[in-house]
Amino acid sequence: MALNTPAVNVPVAWRLAALRLGGFPVIPTAILASIALVAILAEVIAPYNPEIGTLGDRFRPPFWQVGGSEAHLLGTDHLGRDVLSRLIFGARVSMVVGFTAVIFAGVVGTSLGILAGYLGGWVDQVIMRVTDAWLAIPALTYAIFLAAIVGPSMWNVVIILAVVYWTRYARVIRGEVLSLKERDFVRLAIVAGCSKRTIMKKHILPNVLNSAIVLGTLMLGVVIVTEAALSFLGVGVPPPKPAWGLMLSDGKKGMMAGYWWLTVLPGCCIMLMVLAANLLGDWLRVKLDPQLRQL
């Protein structure tokens, strides 16, 4: 009964995880690198111009289905544009917008979170009240509002997304800083005579990077989908420039008619990218934390 009860069976997922924790994260980097490569070499790789379509060729399914042809490997959309080419060019937009927005938001949000958490007092009050007010506005509405003011363009979208989402970071990081502040090594740094700036830079920041990175990978998916919504409403990346999110929302019209490839394919691309970013973020987190590195 109790003697020699077997230990827990190690789930397959853990072994897969070991694959990436053990050393360099091969799979996620490969995925992201491929997407980046595709984005860079879009002009060379894509078989067709993504913005122009042949109306006579609308709604062609992918080549392995009836009615598909090898001329359009992944089919065409409602305007006869080649889906594969659009996916390839769309990589560009999604990568740039996704990563840049997340990084901008991260830098701003983390800095403000650290300042609010460590300095306390009126600095904290001001930053937090601003954050609260910001958060009270639904992200999408806010984004649309801003986009309507500044006009649609890819870089405007990046800035808007950063502006809308920095508050998520600020909140979480501030909470961490509040508890970090009480740790003995911070107290000892004060006793050693370190200035507040030095403490925030050398002691607080490295210890909140963990959370910031994880948060970043979580936000990536949200940002991409928000970008898609903006595009759908006409205030995002302006059509006919392809973006995966835009393709997703465009394709919705075709779902009922059975044109699954218009949504599923861009959806898969988004999913792949977000998954890879998450895995990479995990690896990065471990790499930056000396303690976890050893495991």
Partner 1 sequence: MSTPPLLEIRNLSTHFVSARGKRVVRAVNDLSLTLRAGETLGIVGESGSGKSTLALTILRLLPPAARIVQGEINLDGEDLLKKSDAEMRHIRGKRIAMILQDPMASLNPLFTIGDQVGEPMRVHEGVSRGGAWTRAKELLKAVRISAPETRVGEYPHQMSGGMRQRIVGAIAISCEPALLIADEPTTSLDVTIQAQYLKLLRDLQHAHHLALIFITHNLGIVAKMCDQVAVMYAGRMVESGPVRQIFNAPAHPYTEALLQSIPRLVDNRQRLTAIDGQPPDLAAPPAGCAFHPRCPKVVERCSLEEPPGFAVAESQTARCWLRDPR
Partner 2 sequence: MSANGPVLEAVKLTKHFAVKRGLFSGSRGVVRAVDGISFAIPTGQTLGVVGESGCGKTTTAKLVLLLEQPTGGLIRFEGRDLETLGGTNLRDYRRSVQAVFQDPYASLNPRMRVGTIIAEPLVTNETVEAAEVRQRVRGLLDVVGLPDRAADLFPHEFSGGQRQRIAIARSLALSPKLIVLDEPVSALDVSIRAQILNLLRDLQAQLGLSYLFIAHDLAAVAHMSHQIAVMYLGQIVETGAAETVAREPKHPYTQALFSAALPSHPEEVREEIILPGEVPSPLNPPAGCRFHPRCPFSMPRCSAEEPRLLPVEGRLAACHLYDQKP
Interface residue with partner 2, options 1, 44, 191, 256 (CB under 8 A): 191
118: Cβ contacts below 8 Å, ≥ 6 apart? 177, 181, 196, 199, 200, 204
**Is 150 an interacting residue with respect to partner 2 (CB under 8 A)?**
no
Find the binder of partner 2 among 17, 198, 240, 255 (CB under 8 A).
198
Structure tokens, 266: 């861009």
194 in contact with partner 2 (CB under 8 A): yes
Identify the CA nearest to 223 among candidates 91, 131, 130, 105: 105
> Hey, which residues does 69 pair with through a beta bridge?
72
Residue 72 bridge partners (DSSP): 69
Is residue 294 within the footprint of partner 2 (CB under 8 A)?
yes
**Residue from 66, 184, 197, 256 binding partner 2 (CB under 8 A):** 184
Report the nearest approach of partner 2 to the CB of residue 188 (Å): 6
CA distances from 114 to 28, 110, 120, 179, 190 (A): 30, 6, 10, 12, 17
> Applying CB under 8 A, which of residues 189, 215, 248, 265 lies at the interface with partner 2?
189
Q: Min. distance of Cβ 192 from partner 2 in angstroms?
A: 4
CB closer to partner 2 out of 51 and 289: 289
**What is the C-alpha to C-alpha distance for residues 18 and 233, in angstroms, rounded to an integer?**
42
Residues that bind partner 2 (CB under 8 A): 183-185, 187-195, 198, 202-203, 206-207, 288-291, 294
